[in-house]
Amino acid sequence: MPYCPKCDMEFVDGITTCSDCGGPLVASKEEADRLKREEQLKRQKEQQNLTQEMLSMEMNGADADGFSGYDSEAFHTLANSDDPDVSAKGSRSTDPASALSFKQQSTAYVDKGQKYEDLRSSASAFLIVGGAVLIFSALCWLQIVRLPMAGFSRYLIQTALTAMGIFSMVVYIKSNRSAKDLLPQIEEEKQKTNDLIQWFLSEQSAQDIDREILDLDQLNDEEISLKRFQIIQDYLITHKDLPDPAYVDALCEEIYTKLYEEN
């Protein structure tokens, strides 16, 4: 049945345009999923190619001026197409894992466990601030603490303090609630990640990956590391439905470590 990927709606045969958004329809939902995976893979490859070019320039001794030929805005848009809050900065390390360091900086993935800790810390901070401000404002309203002002100005300041305290407590409640909602997902994510890693290790070995690298003996350590990373990444994208590029990169780093650094 014709399907609109933007609105997630199916239509009867013969319809070619979505009645809601006006966009063109694809043949079926399965076709839309396939096109989405292909587009994601294309973006990943474009990012990898640009990353490899920049690393090559770095290895050839190019300094910061050597990157002037790149459109900085275009590079950041490409490198972070699915994660606009993360800046794309290359690593200056010269050890064999420098390619992995670059990937870690450009697409840092924050797991649910870390998000939970961040939310709890944020909630605690707002609880302390909100509680202190509310207590102080209550003392002001009860005239136990007298502000060095009178009349309308004093009431205005006391009202502002009260509003600030209430706002902080509202943020505390929301952050604490979000943390509680996230808590059950932490173990699920850990299990999912472990299952994906074990699946990959059962499918591919370090030797299998290295056999796919052409002219292995002619590449330096950085280039070999980057190509290994790309092969792992491509295999994950083509065999598993993983829409978050940052999560894919985090998986690649763990798999790379188990294949090449722990053995």
Residue 119: predicted pLDDT: 92
d(CA 11, CA 4): 8
Residue 212: predicted pLDDT: 86
Which sign does the torsion angle of CA 212, 217, 222, 223 carry?
Answer: negative
Q: Are 40 and 245 in contact (CB under 8 A)?
A: yes
Coil, strand or helix at 10 = strand
pTM exceeding 0.75 = no
Residue 124: predicted pLDDT: 94
Q: Which two tokens stand for residue 132?
A: 């202190």
**What is the residue-level pLDDT of the chain in tens, covering all 263 positions?**
677 777 776 766 666 777 667 678 777 777 777 777 777 777 777 776 676 666 666 555 544 444 444 444 444 444 444 444 433 333 333 344 444 444 444 457 888 898 999 999 999 999 999 999 999 999 989 989 888 888 888 889 999 999 999 999 999 999 999 999 998 899 999 999 999 999 999 998 888 888 888 777 888 888 888 888 889 988 898 888 888 888 888 899 899 998 888 66
